[in-house]
Structure 1
Amino acid sequence: MSDRLKLSEMVVGGVKFLRYLLKGGIFNINLEVTKRCNARCDFCDYWKEKPPDEMDDYVCVVKKLNPLSVSLTGGEPLLRKDLEEIIHRLRKNFGFLYISLITNGMLLTYKRGLRLWDAGLNELSISLDYLDKRHDDTRKLPGLTAHILEIAPQLARAGVDMCFNVVIKKGNLEEVPNIIEWAAE
């Protein structure tokens, strides 16, 4: 992340973090940028709900709460056509703000991943509960696992920082070491 920040932004970030350590405050906020979702996960019911209107600008929320970090979540954030603009506005208004995006990955393309990164994203977090078809079955998205296993290494080679979220549930705890090993490669 430091190679993407100006010296002044690093100083502001350091002061902000020191103030957080000394006085407390909000470390991270989750900004639910949409409730719409293309998955039909068996542990989530967002897809059953009629989505409410979506905000266009989150700068005022972030200014009010003043966190060190923001996670863009959903639903599925990649359904937002203006996601790059949301990230860009946050980056423009807050030099030191760690911005992550949590996605199921199905709508992620190489070009979109690079556009998100160029807009100011610091970390792309992809949900991955299994390394095989069981992940597709859980999310009700055929081909999802193969897509993630293909796109994630491409984006990593391009310099996009990423991590993987695993929803621990009955039957996949033994899969976690395999996911960690795959992600480390």
Structure 2
Amino acid sequence: MKTVLFDIGIMPVGKYCNLSCRGCFQKTRKKTEFLTVDARIADHLQSMGITRCFIGGGEPLLHNDLEPVLHKISKSFSIRYLLTHGNDLSSHHYVKNYVETIVISIDPMHERATRQEYGKISYPDNIFAFIKESGVDKKVRINSVAGSLNELPFFLKLKERITGTGNVKGWYVYANTNSSISKNDYTELIDRINKSGRSGLNVEYKLPSEDFIQILILPDLSLESYSFNVFHGIKKVHVKNILSFNKLADLLKHIGKLHGKSSDVFSQMGSGRIK
């Protein structure tokens, strides 16, 4: 018997996410119908004993219409972090007043998804300005995905921009298991990034793990009840019909059976074990 870590995320974004990133659960480009989290879902998650989660996307900051939803979630749960692609961070009221830890996704995949020029950091300067200005009262982490050793120029430029802000607390580069990158190429990529430029900010390895599952609660009832995939080296579970589970332990037992891990002990990141 071994311990399997899990993390729970609420995804308040539906039809307004227009990034259409490869590997996203919206990869068919079918736009979902619901924008907000049903009040019953938030209340039910609390009744199940869920007290902490992260806010994911899509892009939860893409439209101001989402702000009331984000407020409701933050009042109901302990928010571990907000995951964003960095849209309009500096002027977003919610970020300024409610979010302490921000995880920003910056990688070649999203550059290509938004039809930006491959191999260059063309994200708006205000993202890096926000990181530089907010480092005192915000915890900022960068998440990236590596799909090829050929992406090294992108990551070297990104390191230059990140270290220039001086306020990034961590940088994780995941091995994209949906690409052809080998373990040797991935290791070489990370080593070359860490040896380049100024010291003080080293990339942390993120290889695929059998001992971590990400559980994503979807607000859209039109999606499949459960879908499982491995993306960026992370096992993900998309859960629609959360109302059919009365306790967190029941949900974990169901997920464990589907993953062949029914005899393992589940432990939420930052909390105790749950059998």
TM-score (norm 2): 0.44
Higher relative contact order (CA 8 A, sep 6+): 2
Greater alpha carbon shift after TM alignment, 25-34 vs 160-169: 25-34
1:41 corresponds to which of 10, 13, 21? 21
Amino acid at match of 1:108: D
Q: Which residue is equivalent to 2:147?
A: 169
2:95 corresponds to which of 101, 117, 127? 117
1:101 corresponds to which of 58, 62, 82? 82
The alignment status of 1:29 with 2:8, answered yes or no, reads yes
Q: Secondary structure at the match of 2:24?
A: coil
Q: Which residue is equivalent to 2:31?
A: 50
Deviation at 1:168, TM superposition (A): 2.3
The alignment status of 1:83 with 2:66, answered yes or no, reads yes
Contact between 2:89 and 2:127, CA under 8 Å: does it hold in 1?
no
Structure 2: give runs of 5+ residues left out of the alignment: 165-275
Q: 2:106, 2:11 → 1: CA distance?
A: 20
Deviation at 1:125, TM superposition (A): 1.8
Deviation at 1:80, TM superposition (A): 4.2
Structure 1: give runs of 5+ residues left out of the alignment: 1-23
Q: 1:92, 1:78 → 2: CA distance?
A: 17
Q: Which residue is equivalent to 1:160?
A: 138
Indicate the percent of aligned positions where both proteins have the same amino acid: 20
Q: 1:92, 1:178 → 2: CA distance?
A: 38
| Cα-Cα RMSD | 3.4
Deviation at 1:66, TM superposition (A): 3.9
2:123 corresponds to which of 124, 130, 147? 147
Query: Residues 117 and 34 of structure 1: is their aligned pair in 2 closer, same or farther, counting only changes over 3 Å?
Result: closer
Deviation at 1:79, TM superposition (A): 3.2
Amino acid at match of 2:11: E
Amino acid at match of 2:123: H
Q: Which residue is equivalent to 1:129?
A: 107
TM-score (norm 1): 0.62
Q: Secondary structure at the match of 2:64?
A: coil
How many residue pairs were aligned? 152
Larger Rg: 2
